[in-house]
């Protein structure tokens, strides 16, 4: 039996709605467009078009994956971030709009020549900055070798291999040199919060990139303790935080001499970024 775009959209949403409480319709559209290899903006004009049997099979397979709470970005293998496509796998965090707040604030503070990205993951922060600043160079470090492979793929696809160095390092352990900008979206979810977060995150994204355990603040303690050794005299630090961690992170940095920090809210009004400008 021939299936139309409209019929498959209705079927997919019916399947997802009991499982995916928010965004089932959007997820269905993205997955069908992916299965048909078209821009999802074209689906509305093709509602009565027939979908090939191969595309139907592919679509139904992606719906089955989503029903297991696998993130859409992992299923289709890509997430848009700051207007560019980044490869995404289960080995890296799914780049989120929240992190674009960090990018926006960095741009407001001026350009940088040398950038260090701690816990680079997919590379979305470092590579976005390098893509926007054609004269900048940067180093991205991560403990995960698999994450670095994803970052390297993104680096190549964006044509930034000449200006980006990606290396395995436990925070600063294998970092050398001085930087006028240090950025990081470190693991910050508390051990208690990990028990209640959405299965899309808990079951599918790398735990080491989500939580350090305990109070969720260990990464900030390490960054605050050592960042001064790697900053130029006028250097800047921007770190993403959990919505309820602003004062704790400011206090941690203040203990190591960074007393001029300020907090920035995201588009929903939640605390999201802490910045220090020397």
Summarize pLDDT for 141-153 with one digit per residue, the tens: 999 999 999 999 9
pLDDT band at 277; cut points 50, 70, 90: confident
Tokens standing for residue 269 = 């009004």
The parent domain of residue 49 ranges over 3-68
Per-residue pLDDT tens over the stretch 218-270: 999 999 999 999 999 999 999 999 999 999 999 999 999 998 899 999 999 99
Is position 204 within any domain? yes
CATH number at residue 134: 3.40.50.150
Of 68, 99, 120, the last residue of a domain is 68
The terminus-to-terminus CA distance of the chain in angstroms comes to 67
Of 21, 38, 68, the last residue of a domain is 68
Q: Give how many domains the chain has, as a whole number.
A: 2
Is position 75 within any domain? no
225 vs 94: CA distance, rounded Å: 28
| Residues pairing with 273 in the sheet | 240, 264
- Is residue 267 within 8 Å of residue 214, measured between CB atoms? no
Residues 136 and 261 in one domain: yes
Is position 82 within any domain? no
Identify the helix (H) or strand (E) that includes residue 236.
Answer: strand 231-240
Count the neighbouring beta carbons within 10 Å of the beta carbon of residue 66.
24
Of 68, 98, 115, the last residue of a domain is 68
Is position 81 within any domain? no
Residues 156 and 271 in one domain: yes
Is position 83 within any domain? no
- Is residue 169 within 8 Å of residue 101, measured between CB atoms? no
139 vs 172: CA distance, rounded Å: 11
**Residue 238: φ, ψ to 5°:** -130, 125
pTM over 0.85: yes
Angle separating helix axes 24-36 and 53-67, nearest 10 degrees:
140
192: which residues sit within 8 A by CB, 6+ positions away?
none
């Amino acid at each position: 039996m021939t299936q139309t775009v409209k019929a498959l959209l209705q079927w997919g949403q019916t399947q997802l709605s009991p499982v995916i409480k928010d965004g089932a319709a959007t997820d269905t559209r993205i997955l069908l467009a992916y299965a048909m290899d078209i821009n999802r903006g074209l689906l509305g004009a093709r509602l009565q078009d027939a979908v090939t049997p191969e595309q139907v099979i592919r679509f139904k397979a992606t719906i089955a994956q989503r029903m297991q709470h696998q993130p859409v970005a992992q299923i289709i293998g890509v997430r848009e971030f700051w207007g560019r496509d980044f490869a995404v796998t289960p080995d890296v965090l799914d780049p989120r709009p929240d992190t674009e707040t960090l990018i926006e604030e960095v741009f407001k503070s001026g350009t940088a020549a040398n950038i260090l990205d701690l816990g680079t993951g997919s590379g979305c922060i470092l590579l976005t900055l390098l893509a926007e600043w054609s004269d900048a160079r940067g180093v991205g470090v991560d403990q995960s070798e698999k994450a670095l492979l994803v970052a390297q793929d993104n680096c190549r696809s964006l044509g930034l291999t000449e200006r980006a160095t990606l290396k395995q390092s436990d925070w600063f352990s294998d970092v050398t040199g001085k930087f006028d900008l240090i950025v990081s979206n470190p693991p910050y979810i508390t051990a208690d919060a990990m028990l209640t977060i959405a299965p899309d995150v808990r079951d599918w994204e790398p735990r080491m990139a989500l939580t350090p355990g305990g109070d969720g603040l260990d990464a900030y303690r390490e960054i605050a303790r050592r960042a001064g050794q790697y900053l130029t005299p006028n250097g800047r630090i921007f770190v993403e935080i959990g919505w309820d961690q602003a004062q704790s992170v400011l206090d941690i940095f203040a203990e190591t001499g960074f007393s001029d920090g300020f907090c920035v809210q995201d588009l929903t009004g939640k605390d999201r970024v802490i910045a220090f400008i020397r």
